[in-house]
Amino acid sequence: MTAERPPGPRTAWIVLALVAGVFATYAEVGGFDFVSYDDPDYVTANPAVRGGLTWAGLRWAFAETHASNWHPLTWLSHMLDVERFGLAPSGHHWTSVALHALAAVLCFLALRALTARGWTSAALAGFFALHPLKVESVAWISERKDVLAGVFFFATLRAYVAHARAPGVGRMLGVTLLFALGLLAKPMLVTLPCLFLLLDLWPLRRFERAQGWRCAARLLGEKLPLFLLAGLSAVVTVHAQRAGGALHALESLPLSARLANAPVAVFGYVERFLWPVDLAYFYPHPALAGSAGTPWTAGAIGALGALVLGTVVALALARRLPAVPIGWLWFLGLLVPVIGIVQVGEQALADRYAYLSTVGLALALLLPLARAVERHARLALPVASVVGLLLAACAVLSARQARTWRNSETLYNHALAVTERNYAAWTGLANELAARGDLVGARKAYGEALALRPSYAPALYSLGLLEQEHGDPERALVLYEEALASLPGLAAAALNLGALHAQRGEDVEAALAFERVLALFPEHPDAHFNLAMLFLRRGQAESARPHLERAVASRPDFRAAWEALARVRAALGDEEGAGEASRRARGE
């Protein structure tokens, strides 16, 4: 294999080109808004994040699960953005772009160290930087975890290559630390130790330099801390997603449906990598979007057969073209946590899941092409020209795709235009219509969503909220109950259900609803406050006091809770505490 290590100045130009390419492609994102899809949970309506970078926020990031996730480094990143930019979305967007540019640079450096091919690695990093499948991870503020994890993924890979070339305890400790940081950003990196074993086969060839099972045991043993970290991260992630209601039970999405969708999803990623058009923020799972019949359709069976055949062919090329099986298994291995066997969310697949995995596909395609150029020098110019044109096309398509993230309504309308039976997009659009006062349009859009997915909890909850606010509390109560039956972890529905019961004088039912919220989120300030109000209505000031104190501890600017706490403390003879609460209620 011919080494292509470029000298320092050439490396600097490649790095500059990657950074410039990323910022040029995403030049418009500074004018984009937050979107209503997850951004409130992650930033705009998240009290812990809105408070900026504080010791309380630091404790929350590591101690609590939120939005069905535990990724403390990502939370700290959002907090730091609030500290620097407040809630102006421009700064948050530019941070994601900068992190993606850094990930692209680290991708180049890691792949060059791995393959000893400078220009090929530059092309691979270029496709990583500019491909439209990356847009969701970069232009969507809530997907900060992708670009942050990408930085640590490639940093870990670069550190591992250095260890593989010159093994040492210190280098392996560095690999372990970077891997841990990556998991703290996004747990999707759990299969990275398996990727390292693949790379030990080729191109690192570590298995070939030692003898037999002793070598295999040593290579596995050095990665034991990585596997332990991956296992711990997986356990914590499953707990967080189960607590948040993101994991779908077998009865809502049977195992047969998840197994049938997996090979279809794999080829969905391949298709979108090769022909990246009509991309959307949400692709409905066929088993949840009103599709009838067995999940094992001709398409699913064909996709499974093609997956098996493709893997067999890739492995058969291992001796002549080792990059093909390694790249293909890189692609499949990084998809394993999100392929849907353990279903998280209701999507069939998601562009963000291809952020790191499709690097393997690019590797499988470009390295054999580079080898062909080495053998036939006359191909160098036409191949370089084609690669350059493809990179330019990717940049244009990515810039266009990024515009779909300009605001919430643009995002949902685009998804409805390029996908079918998209109940999530109908719900998102309905929420936007309701927010601007178009109640007729909102009800129609909610109806479209529920016609496609009658048990879709977000649509049921949002329609319930609309009915509660516009004169039909009885209908709202029914809708909240249905939403909770579908998604027990939907705390907002339980909170509003409790408020409706309290308005009707049904204190027992209201208390049960508020306690349901606290079972999910023990420090939820509104649930504590509402429960305290029920106790006060019964004249039980002593029982109300701890709930009010926990409400103001969770939300220090909760003036209504401070006012109520002042009255409670005064009634219980705590004049000094009452005075302090009164001052806090006045904002002093």
Do 490 and 524 meet the contact criterion of CB atoms below 8 Å apart? no
Global pTM reads 0.92
Residues 6 or more apart whose Cβ sits within 8 Å of residue 131: 273, 276, 358, 394, 398
Residue 482 is assigned to a structural domain of this protein: yes
Question: For residues 247 and 9, what is the distance between their CA atoms, to the nearest angstrom?
Answer: 50
Buried b (16+ CB within 10 A) or exposed e, 68-89: bbbbbbbbbbbbebbeeeeeeb
Q: Answer yes or no: do 190 and 266 share one domain.
A: yes
Do 185 and 145 meet the contact criterion of CB atoms below 8 Å apart? yes
Q: Of 371, 405, 439, which one is at a domain's C-terminal end? A: 405
Q: Answer yes or no: do 72 and 161 share one domain.
A: yes
Token pair, residue 62, equals: 């590591």
Do 122 and 67 meet the contact criterion of CB atoms below 8 Å apart? no
Q: Answer yes or no: do 292 and 428 share one domain.
A: no
Please report where in the chains the tokens 């039912």 appear, as a residue: 509
Instruction: Say what percent of the chain tops pLDDT 90.
Output: 84
Residue 534 is assigned to a structural domain of this protein: yes
Residues 6 or more apart whose Cβ sits within 8 Å of residue 419: 278, 280, 282, 283, 284, 425
Residues 6 or more apart whose Cβ sits within 8 Å of residue 308: none
Question: For residues 2 and 343, what is the distance between their CA atoms, to the nearest angstrom?
Answer: 44
Residue 2 is assigned to a structural domain of this protein: no
Q: Answer yes or no: do 365 and 510 share one domain.
A: no
Q: Answer yes or no: do 440 and 557 share one domain.
A: yes
Residue 521 is assigned to a structural domain of this protein: yes
Domain count, the chain: 2
Q: Answer yes or no: do 384 and 413 share one domain.
A: no
Residue 3's pLDDT band (cuts 50, 70, 90) = very low
Q: Answer yes or no: do 248 and 126 share one domain.
A: yes
Residue type, 223: K
Which CATH number belongs to the domain containing residue 433 in this structure? 1.25.40.10
pLDDT digits (tens, 9 = 90+) for 502-524: 999 999 999 999 999 999 888 89
pLDDT digits (tens, 9 = 90+) for 42-87: 999 998 999 999 998 999 999 988 887 899 999 999 999 999 999 9
Local structure of residue 348 (DSSP, 8 states): E
pLDDT digits (tens, 9 = 90+) for 424-459: 999 999 999 999 999 999 999 999 999 999 999 999
- pLDDT of 518: 95
Buried b (16+ CB within 10 A) or exposed e, 410-442: bbbebbbeebebbbbbbbbbbbbbbeeeeeeeb
Token pair, residue 195, equals: 């990727």
Local structure of residue 204 (DSSP, 8 states): S
Q: Of 377, 405, 433, which one is at a domain's C-terminal end? A: 405
Residue 388 is assigned to a structural domain of this protein: yes
Q: Are strands 283-284 and 347-349 parallel, antiparallel or unpaired?
A: antiparallel
Half-sphere exposure at residue 572, Cβ-oriented, CA atoms within 13 angstroms: 20
Instruction: Specify whether the backbone of 237 is left (phi greater than 0), alpha (psi in -120 to 50) or beta.
Output: alpha
Question: For residues 357 and 583, what is the distance between their CA atoms, to the nearest angstrom?
Answer: 55
Residue 194 is assigned to a structural domain of this protein: yes
Residues 6 or more apart whose Cβ sits within 8 Å of residue 394: 127, 130, 131, 132, 276
Nearest of 435, 491, 409, 433 to residue 458 by alpha carbon: 491
Q: Answer yes or no: do 286 and 364 share one domain.
A: yes
Q: Answer yes or no: do 439 and 336 share one domain.
A: no
- Residue 291's domain comprises 8-405
Residue 537 is assigned to a structural domain of this protein: yes
pLDDT digits (tens, 9 = 90+) for 18-32: 999 999 999 999 999
Q: Answer yes or no: do 286 and 172 share one domain.
A: yes
> What radius of gyration do the chain's Cα atoms show?
26
Residue 414 is assigned to a structural domain of this protein: yes
Element (H, E) at 518: helix 507-520
Q: Of 354, 384, 405, which one is at a domain's C-terminal end? A: 405
Q: Answer yes or no: do 69 and 216 share one domain.
A: yes
Q: Answer yes or no: do 425 and 300 share one domain.
A: no
